[in-house]
């Protein structure tokens, strides 16, 4: 199977991967597990996954407490390299499949969340199920939020006169494009995430 190109992740999904690595380091773990990915999704805070989890009453404090009660924290040691588990690799594979199934070009935080639940065997999936965030409920909430966003975008908005009419002829309003999710993906330069994706992509 071909590797997963880094630029296929949204900026928020990339941030989640960075935060997952931070969570592994914080716990003195030499691996990135599904539990670290879940904490990364919650800490990112602005993506669709974070909104879904918030709406379903899944709070980062509860999640962290549950995970730490299961795993505890390792002794502080010098870790040369943090490697994603095979389970996290499978979650990434599923997230790409889910993005394709949903007709999306890029993998967003919601696809990572679905990947955690569909994979089903990791600590994150068990924690989510225990907190009432089942696959069916999460999928339904994603569809509801995406439907709301589509309706908002389809409603005609009164056009305000531009303060920069001359600039408008030659440029694009990047803020407006970002709001409509019309921006081309920015290929990130974060070396840590790049390394994580390369490791995840190896067969």
Mean pLDDT computed over every residue of the chain: 75
- Looking at the 3D structure of the chain, how many domains does it have? 1
Phi and psi based region of residue 139 (left: phi greater than 0; alpha: psi -120 to 50; beta: remaining):
alpha
Is 156 within a domain?
Answer: no
Which 3 state secondary structure label does DSSP give 79?
coil
Say what the pLDDT of residue 34 is. Answer: 92
Encode pLDDT of 2-56 as tens digits: 455 667 888 899 888 889 888 888 888 888 889 999 999 988 888 889 899 889 8
Encode pLDDT of 80-131 as tens digits: 677 888 898 889 888 888 888 888 888 889 999 999 999 988 888 988 988 8
Encode pLDDT of 130-140 as tens digits: 888 889 898 89
Is 1 within a domain?
Answer: no
Residue in this structure with the two tokens 């990791």, named with its chain if needed: 122
Q: Which domain holds residue 183?
A: 6-147+162-201
E-strand spans in 62-132? Answer: 83-84
Tokens at 195, concatenated: 């390394």
Is 101 within a domain?
Answer: yes
Q: What radius of gyration do the chain's Cα atoms show?
A: 19
Residue pair 92/115 in contact by the 8 Å Cβ criterion: yes
Q: Write down the H helix ranges in 45-130.
A: 48-55, 60-71, 86-101, 109-119, 123-130
Is 65 within a domain?
Answer: yes
Give the pLDDT mean for 154-159.
56
CATH number for the domain including 97? 1.10.1780.10
Angle in degrees, CA 23, 33, 45, rounded to 5: 50
Is 153 within a domain?
Answer: no
Is 155 within a domain?
Answer: no
Is 179 within a domain?
Answer: yes
Is 138 within a domain?
Answer: yes
């Amino acid at each position: 199977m071909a590797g997963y190109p880094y630029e296929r992740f949204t900026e928020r999904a990339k941030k989640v991967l960075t935060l997952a690595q931070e969570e592994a380091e914080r716990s003195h773990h030499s691996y990135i597990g599904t539990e670290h990915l879940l904490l990364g999704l919650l800490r990112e805070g602005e993506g669709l996954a974070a909104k879904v989890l918030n709406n379903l009453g899944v709070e980062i404090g509860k999640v962290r407490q549950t995970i730490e009660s299961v795993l505890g924290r390792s002794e502080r040691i010098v870790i040369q390299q943090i490697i994603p588990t095979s389970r996290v690799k499978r979650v990434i594979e599923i997230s790409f499949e889910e993005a394709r199934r949903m007709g999306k070009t890029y993998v967003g935080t919601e696809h990572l969340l679905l990947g955690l639940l569909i994979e089903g065997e990791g600590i994150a999936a068990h924690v989510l199920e225990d907190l009432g965030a089942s696959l069916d409920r999460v999928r339904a909430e994603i569809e509801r939020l995406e439907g709301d966003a589509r309706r908002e975008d389809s409603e005609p908005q009164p056009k305000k006169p531009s303060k920069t009419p001359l600039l408008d002829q030659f440029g694009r309003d990047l803020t407006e494009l970002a709001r409509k999710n019309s921006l081309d993906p920015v290929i990130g330069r974060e070396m840590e995430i790049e390394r994580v994706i390369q490791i995840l992509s190896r067969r």
